[in-house]
Amino acid sequence: MPYLGGEETVRELRRALSNPNVQSDQLRYRNTILKVIRAMSQGVDMSGLFSEMVKACATVDVVQKKLVYVFLCSYAALNPELSLLVINTLRKDCQDPNPMVRSLALRNMTNLRLPSLVEYVEQPLAAGLRDRAACVRRVAVLGWAKLHNLQASSEIDAAVVNELYSLLRDPDPVVMVNCLRALEEILKDEGGVAINKPITHHLLNRLKECDIWGQCQVLRVLQRYRPQSEDELFDILSLLDASLVSPHPPIMAATLSLFLSLCSGQPAVSLAALERVRGPLLAACGSGSREMRFTALCHIQLLLRSIPGLMGAHYKRFFCGYAEPAYIKQRKMQVLVELVNDENVAMLLDELKGYCTDVNAETAQAAITAIGRIGRSYSDRCLEILTGLLGLKQDHITSAVVQTMRDLVWVCPQCSDTVCFALEGCEETLQDSQGRQALLWLLGVYGERVSSAPYTLEVFIDGVRSEASLGVKMELLTATMRLFLCRPAETQDMLGRLLHYCIEEETDMCVRDQALLYYRLLHCGIEETRKVLQGRRSDPSLGVLIGRPAEPVSQWARSFNTLEPLRQGSIETDGALNRLKQ
Amino acid sequence: MIGGLFIYNHKGEVLISRVYRDDIGRNAVDAFRVNVIHARQQVRSPVTNIARTSFFHVKRSNIWLAAVTKQNVNAAMVFEFLYKMCDVMTAYFGKISEENIKNNFVLIYELLDEILDFGYPQNSETGALKTFITQQGIKGQVSKTKEQSQITSQVTGQIGWRREGIKYRRNELFLDVLESVNLLMSPQGQVLSAHVSGRVVMKSYLSGMPECKFGMNDKIVIDKQGKGGASDDAGKSDLGGGSGKQSIAIDDCTFHQCVRLSKFDSERSISFIPPDGEYELMRYRTTKDIILPFRVIPLVREVGRTKLEVKVVIKSNFKPSLLAQKIEVRIPTPLNTSGVQVICMKGKAKYKASENAIVWKIKRMAGMKESQISAEIELLPTNDKKKWARPPISMNFEVPFAPSGLKVRYLKVFESKLNYSDHDVIKWVRYIGRSGIYETRC
pLDDT tens digits, A252-290:
888 888 888 888 777 788 778 888 888 888 888 877 778
* Angle at A428 (CA atoms; ends A426, A429), nearest 5 degrees: 75
Q: What percent of chain A has pLDDT over 90?
A: 0
**Burial (CB count within 10 angstroms: exposed 0-12, middle 13-18, buried 19+), residue A315:** buried
**Distance, CA of A163 to chain centre:** 38
Nearest to A254 among B18, B74, B256 (CB): B74
Backbone φ, ψ for residue B307 (5° rounding): -140, 150
The one-character DSSP state at B161 is T
- What are the residues facing B394 on neighbouring strands? B330, B439
User: Is the Cβ–Cβ distance between B120 and A181 less than 8 Å?
Assistant: yes
Cα separation, B150 vs B155, whole angstroms: 9
- What are the residues facing B312 on neighbouring strands? B298, B373
Predicted confidence at residue B431, as pLDDT, reads 93
What confidence category does residue A319 fall into, taking pLDDT thresholds of 50, 70 and 90?
Answer: confident
Question: Nearest-CA distance from B421 to chain A in Å?
Answer: 30
- What are the residues facing B373 on neighbouring strands? B312, B344
- What are the residues facing B372 on neighbouring strands? B313
Over the stretch B70-115, which tens digit does the pLDDT of each residue have?
A: 888 888 888 888 998 888 888 888 888 888 888 787 788 888 888 8
For residues B187-196, average pLDDT: 87
- What are the residues facing B64 on neighbouring strands? B8, B59
Q: Under an 8 A CB cutoff, do B385 and A393 touch? A: yes
Q: Under an 8 A CB cutoff, do B254 and A246 touch? A: yes
Predicted confidence at residue A431, as pLDDT, reads 80
Chain B residues in contact with A360 by the CB 8 A cut-off are 42
- What are the residues facing B329 on neighbouring strands? B360, B395
Q: Under an 8 A CB cutoff, do A216 and B77 touch? A: yes
Over the stretch B374-395, which tens digit does the pLDDT of each residue have?
A: 999 998 887 766 667 788 999 9
> Searching chain A, which residue's CA lies closest to the CA of residue B330?
A323
What is the H or E stretch that residue A399 is in? helix A395-411
Nearest to B46 among A172, A294, A358 (CB): A294
Question: Nearest-CA distance from B137 to chain A in Å?
Answer: 6
Predicted confidence at residue B432, as pLDDT, reads 93
Indicate the average pLDDT of chain A: 79
**Distance, CA of A38 to chain centre:** 33
* Cα separation values, A183 from A188, B121, B125, Å: 8, 16, 25
Chain B residues in contact with A125 by the CB 8 A cut-off are none
Cα separation, B325 vs B33, whole angstroms: 39
pLDDT of B220 over the 60 cut = yes
Residues in chain A: 582
Q: How many CB atoms lie within 10 A of CB B309?
A: 13
Indicate the average pLDDT of chain B: 81
Predicted confidence at residue B238, as pLDDT, reads 37
Predicted confidence at residue A552, as pLDDT, reads 67
Identify the residue with better confidence: B231 or A474.
A474
Q: Flag the least confident range among A1-5, A499-503, B194-198.
A: A1-5
Handedness of CA B234, B235, B238, B242 (dihedral sign): positive
Chain B residues in contact with A361 by the CB 8 A cut-off are none
Please give the single-letter amino acid code of residue B30. D
Chain B residues in contact with A279 by the CB 8 A cut-off are 251-252, 285
Q: Under an 8 A CB cutoff, do A173 and B252 touch? A: no
Identify the residue with better confidence: B334 or A26.
B334
State the ipTM, two decimals.
0.79
**Distance, CA of A11 to chain centre:** 45
> Searching chain B, which residue's CA lies closest to the CA of residue A291?
B46
Q: Flag the least confident range among A73-82, A514-523, B212-221.
A: A73-82
User: Is the Cβ–Cβ distance between B285 and B250 less than 8 Å?
Assistant: yes
Predicted confidence at residue B40, as pLDDT, reads 67
Q: How many CB atoms lie within 10 A of CB B112?
A: 18
Over the stretch A410-419, which tens digit does the pLDDT of each residue have?
A: 888 787 888 8
Chain A residues in contact with B14 by the CB 8 A cut-off are 41-43
Nearest to B72 among A149, A247, A562 (CB): A562
Mutate: best of A208, A238, A295, A567, partner B, most B CBs <10 A: A295
What confidence category does residue A155 fall into, taking pLDDT thresholds of 50, 70 and 90?
Answer: low
Helices (H) and strands (E) in chain B, counts: 8, 23
User: Is the Cβ–Cβ distance between B193 and B184 less than 8 Å?
Assistant: yes
Nearest to A142 among B22, B120, B391 (CB): B120
The reply to whether B168 touches chain A by the CB within 8 Å rule is no
A-B contacts at Cβ under 8 angstroms: 217
Full strand arrangement of the beta sheet holding B14-19: B14-19, B4-8, B63-69, B53-60, B47-50
pLDDT of A569 over the 70 cut = no
> Searching chain B, which residue's CA lies closest to the CA of residue A143?
B118
Nearest to A291 among B72, B79, B132 (CB): B79
Q: Under an 8 A CB cutoff, do A211 and B261 touch? A: no
Nearest to B76 among A70, A146, A249 (CB): A249
Q: Under an 8 A CB cutoff, do A70 and B137 touch? A: no
What is the H or E stretch that residue A365 is in? helix A361-375
Of the CA atoms within 13 Å of residue B16, those in its CB half-sphere come to 29
Task: Provide the annotated binding site of B.
Answer: 348, 350, 352, 361, 363
Three-class DSSP category at A362? helix
Question: Nearest-CA distance from A356 to chain B in Å?
Answer: 10
Nearest to B14 among A43, A247, A392 (CB): A43
Chain B residues in contact with A146 by the CB 8 A cut-off are 118
Predicted confidence at residue B429, as pLDDT, reads 93
Global pTM value? 0.74
For residues B19-30, average pLDDT: 79
The reply to whether B197 touches chain A by the CB within 8 Å rule is yes
Cα separation, A426 vs A437, whole angstroms: 13
The reply to whether B138 touches chain A by the CB within 8 Å rule is yes
**Burial (CB count within 10 angstroms: exposed 0-12, middle 13-18, buried 19+), residue A19:** middle
What confidence category does residue A549 fall into, taking pLDDT thresholds of 50, 70 and 90?
Answer: low
Please give the single-letter amino acid code of residue A1. M
Over the stretch A94-144, which tens digit does the pLDDT of each residue have?
A: 888 888 888 888 888 887 777 777 778 888 888 888 888 888 888 888 888
Backbone φ, ψ for residue B203 (5° rounding): -115, 115
